[in-house]
Structure 1
Amino acid sequence: MKSNLKKTTLLLTGLMVGGKLFAQSPDTTAAGRDYVKPFSGGSQLRTWSVGVNGGMLTPFTIFGTNNSQDFKKPTEQIGYGAYIKDQILPSLGIQADFMRGKVRGNNSLADNAGNTIYSQYTTNINWSAALSANITLANISWRHEKPFIQPYLTLGAGNLNYTPKVTPPGGQETNYKTTGNGSINQVFIPVGLGLKFDLAPGVNLDLGYQVNFVEADNFDGLNYGSNNDRFSYAHIGLEFALGSRKKPQMATHNPVASMRKEYLWENQQTKTALQQEIDAEKAKNDQLRNDLNTTNANLAKLTTDSDGDGVVDVNDKCPNTPAGTKVDGSGCPLAKPVVYVTEEDKKVVKDAIKNLEFDLGKSTIREHSYPSLDRVANLLIDKNFSLKLAGHTDNTGSADLNMRLSKDRAEAIKSYLVSKGANASRIEATGYGQTQPIATNKTAAGRQANRRVEFTLY
């Protein structure tokens, strides 16, 4: 009993937590989440819903005399179920139910000799399927916009598949039906009542009680007397409406509230229409003002030259050109002529490399190198070429000293060319020291070849 009570408590807690999670994100609209235009038809409401539930199964019911049943002492067991419902009318829905669980009882009636026939029975409800009518008793309220509680009744019929097992006093549990797998199919009549509470739009808490009348006397494994067996199912569950969350659920919808909203809105239509006319006139005036401002701005563009390139803005396809830039008729910079490095240009550079000499161990350029360097400077000025200078040394002396010497010699050449009018931004001077030899440093001729400054013209 304690184990069943614990299972039931966990089941109820899970259902309540699930309901609260759904209730945290309600569906609201500007007109009110339960508003539907009166006489607009059922398409504006959610009619389909699904439900899940769990609770207690017992052979005792609220109908008849329980002492006359085949077993005198019930034992509550866990059951669970689900259903899908179509609300065809505000107060009438048709639902298909499914249920599983166990029913158990102890201490059966005595036989003619006064002996207890069975000490216990356990019936496994393998599955049950029923089609029921669900009648909502109070979903229309003249006092509240949306009713919170919906009492309901259910009545249906279906098929029950169950496996009864009985235990004689001091004996072993056996199947009542000894053939096949021991299961029995039988018609049953479910009758129920309950209350549904609105947790959130389209989410309802379902508290129900159902008595199931089995059309046979073998449900408890004891075919005794003339009465058919029955059992009850007390449950708690959640119902979820299907469809768009913008639509209210038909079973919980209060059409009176929608009619009241419609009445209040009609009283406001005259005032709203008048305000709309005033707003429309204001909008026309604002549009005329905007059109005038646009016309004045367009006229100003005909004489405005923002970047001062001689082309007015309305015709300028390249606005914001730098000052002094030569442009064409559309205001775009004129393309610069492409200049190529010719063989004659390369010869000027080769002569400068050939005639280039420095004082020993220094970055001082000797005077006889000046004429060929002057021709390089004129080439850079006339054709706006760029030049890369790369200084190199042999391996005589330390690596740090050679790196500084190669850098200083390249910089010395750059300084000389700039002094002759060349653009400093187009000259790059780099020192590589002894890291990039082009000949062996083991001979004097090789070391002489490695002491060089390379000119790259582009």
Structure 2
Amino acid sequence: MVNVSNILTKFEKKSQLKLFNLKIMNYSTLKKTVALSFVSLMAVAAVNAQSSSDTTAKAGTAAKVFGGSGQYRTWNIGINAGVTSPFLAIGGTNGTTDWSAGFAYGISVRKQLAHSFGAQLDVVGYGSKVSGSNSTPRNNIKSFETTIAYQATLSGVVNVATIDYLRRKNAINFYVSAGAGLVAFNPVLTWGTPVAGSQTLDNKGKHNGGTDYVKELVIPVGVGVKFRLSDRVALNFGYTANFIDNDYFDGIKNSSNPFHKDKYSYAYGGLEFSLGSSAKPNLDWVNPVAMMYDELNDPTLRQEVQALKGRVTNVEKAVDDLKKDSDGDGVADQFDKCPNTPAGTVVDGAGCPLKMPTIDTSLFVRKGTAMNGGGTVAPTAYSNIQFEFDSSGLRPTAFPVLDATSADLRASKKAVTISGYASSEGTAAHNLRLSKDRANAVKTYLVNSGVDAKKLKVKGLGETNPVADNSTEAGRELNRRVEFKK
């Protein structure tokens, strides 16, 4: 903080003032020389970049989508120079009413981490200046000039327009940036009264325990635009607002607002150079849309697709051959060990005729046996009992057979096994339960009709031992049955 009353008591000698003015003149000459040299350098680089062949611009086209950052050039170094001001484009309060153009220069090093994002280190060069003045002196303060010893910041840089659906390759990139760092500076005040005249006060060494420069946190926030001159070189224009974490950057303490913080802006132009192998493209200017398009239209990929179509055709033909069944028995020709079986023949898994189970006819009632008070009936006892789909209920058509079977069992000492079966629909476990329920339904009917339960043994055999083809409804109907066996 500057105490004006103390300033008024400190007058410098006229010889010191003359020496100071001489230094200012030398510095002004130096600014002009450096600026002219820098502009010349940019012009030469631009001409060289534009006159070079497109070979460099087209270098490194082997990059693939999702191939990683290793297939690109991702390191960039830049130089820049421009004008500083204690005022910002967004406004705000300042210690002076007017600003004088100051000169600054710097370098940058950036690592591009993705198409749209990079991390950048910026260093503002030694001797860069920021200055302001009062057209009408405030508290006898006429102007200030702050010298920056150095400023180093680390920022994230976001490219705003990296994907272009209109052009194959970008020529312009807009970006925004923000970060944090450290700035070392020294403000010099010019003040005076009509009586005493103008005087200067150099604050170097009077703060932070007598150190040469004041060091504070700085927050840079910037915008900019880059123009692609070649795959190696870009022309860069930007504007950065630097927010200082104190109110001493201009040497003037704002007593009306104890929370006031100083700031300054830096408008610059410069060149940026891409580092790395020429065989790789610069990640800054790669358009992901164009890369995807090139991959989809790659002749090699098209050949692979055609070859894949051919392999699919061969597989489909092989599947058709596997499914071919010349005799229609449900077994493919490749696995049919008994080809040309007659139509309707029940076959096993190898395509050979299925050996049908032998029916034990010894249990059948002989012709002429007296039943129900005398007459003779056909041998219907012990015939298979059929069932409806997924049902264990007895059909009325089964009653005559069951009655005849009951009469024979009650009149003799015979014992039988009641075996229940099911067709192949549903799971094996379900069919096993269903077959046992069917056998128990027959046993319950016979016991209720007077047959000794000890003569009846029940088995549930599920969908095993089919007597007909389960691939037809007629065959499945025959397999939904109960059989009687000794």
Report TM bin, short chain. Answer: 0.5 to 0.7
Distance in 1, Cα, partners of 2:222 & 2:242: 8
Q: CA deviation at 1:38?
A: 2.1
Corresponding residue to 1:95 among 120, 142, 165: 120
Q: CA deviation at 1:102?
A: 0.3
Distance in 2, Cα, partners of 1:197 & 1:31: 17
Q: Alpha-carbon deviations, 1:260-312, whole Å to 9, x = none?
A: 122222378549999xxxxxxxxxxxxxxxxxxxxxxxxxxxxxxxxxxxxxx
Q: Alpha-carbon deviations, 1:366-422, whole Å to 9, x = none?
A: xxxxxxxxxxxxxxxxxxxxxxxxxxxxxxxxxxxxxxxxxxxxxxxxxxxxxxxxx
Aligned to 2:471: none
SS in 1 for 2:248: coil
SS in 2 for 1:138: coil
Q: CA deviation at 1:46?
A: 1.0
> Which residues in structure 2 correspond to 1:168-207 (within 5 Å)?
168-169=191-192, 170-179=197-206, 180=210, 182-207=212-237
User: Does 1:55 find its partner at 2:85?
Assistant: no
Distance in 2, Cα, partners of 1:237 & 1:31: 24
Aligned to 2:44: 17
Distance in 2, Cα, partners of 1:61 & 1:9: 26
> Which residues in structure 2 correspond to 1:293-372 (within 5 Å)?
none
Change (3 A) 1:273 1:202: farther
Output the amino acid matched with 1:262.
E
RMSD after superposition: 2.9
Corresponding residue to 1:244 among 258, 265, 277: 277
Q: Alpha-carbon deviations, 1:72-98, whole Å to 9, x = none?
A: 111102110111111112111011110
Q: Alpha-carbon deviations, 1:100-132, whole Å to 9, x = none?
A: 31011111886xxxx533111110011000000
Output the amino acid matched with 2:296.
Y
Corresponding residue to 1:234 among 246, 267, 272: 267
Residues 149 and 197 of structure 1 are in contact (CA less than 8 Å); yes or no, is this contact kept in structure 2? yes
Corresponding residue to 1:266 among 299, 314, 321: 299
Distance in 1, Cα, partners of 2:56 & 2:42: 27
Q: CA deviation at 1:167?
A: 1.2
Q: CA deviation at 1:181?
A: 5.5
> Which residues in structure 2 correspond to 1:69-218 (within 5 Å)?
69-100=94-125, 101-107=128-134, 116-169=139-192, 170-179=197-206, 180=210, 182-218=212-248
Distance in 1, Cα, partners of 2:149 & 2:235: 26
Q: CA deviation at 1:139?
A: 1.0
Residues 72 and 281 of structure 2 are in contact (CA less than 8 Å); yes or no, is this contact kept in structure 1? yes
User: How high is the sequence identity, in percent, across the aligned residues?
Assistant: 33
> Which residues in structure 2 correspond to 1:349-428 (within 5 Å)?
none
Please, which runs of 5 or more residues in structure 1 have no aligned partner?
275-458
SS in 2 for 1:205: strand
Q: CA deviation at 1:24?
A: 3.8
Q: CA deviation at 1:20?
A: 2.7
Q: CA deviation at 1:256?
A: 1.4
Change (3 A) 1:30 1:199: closer
Residues 105 and 121 of structure 1 are in contact (CA less than 8 Å); yes or no, is this contact kept in structure 2? yes
Q: CA deviation at 1:54?
A: 0.6
Change (3 A) 1:99 1:257: same
Please, which runs of 5 or more residues in structure 2 have no aligned partner?
1-24, 308-486
Output the amino acid matched with 1:184.
V
> Which residues in structure 2 correspond to 1:279-294 (within 5 Å)?
none
Q: CA deviation at 1:23?
A: 4.4
SS in 2 for 1:78: strand
Output the amino acid matched with 1:121.
F
Residues 34 and 248 of structure 1 are in contact (CA less than 8 Å); yes or no, is this contact kept in structure 2? yes
Distance in 2, Cα, partners of 1:188 & 1:152: 20
Distance in 2, Cα, partners of 1:22 & 1:222: 46
Output the amino acid matched with 1:217.
D
State how many pairs are aligned: 268
Residues 121 and 167 of structure 1 are in contact (CA less than 8 Å); yes or no, is this contact kept in structure 2? yes
Distance in 2, Cα, partners of 1:72 & 1:242: 44
Q: Alpha-carbon deviations, 1:331-370, whole Å to 9, x = none?
A: xxxxxxxxxxxxxxxxxxxxxxxxxxxxxxxxxxxxxxxx
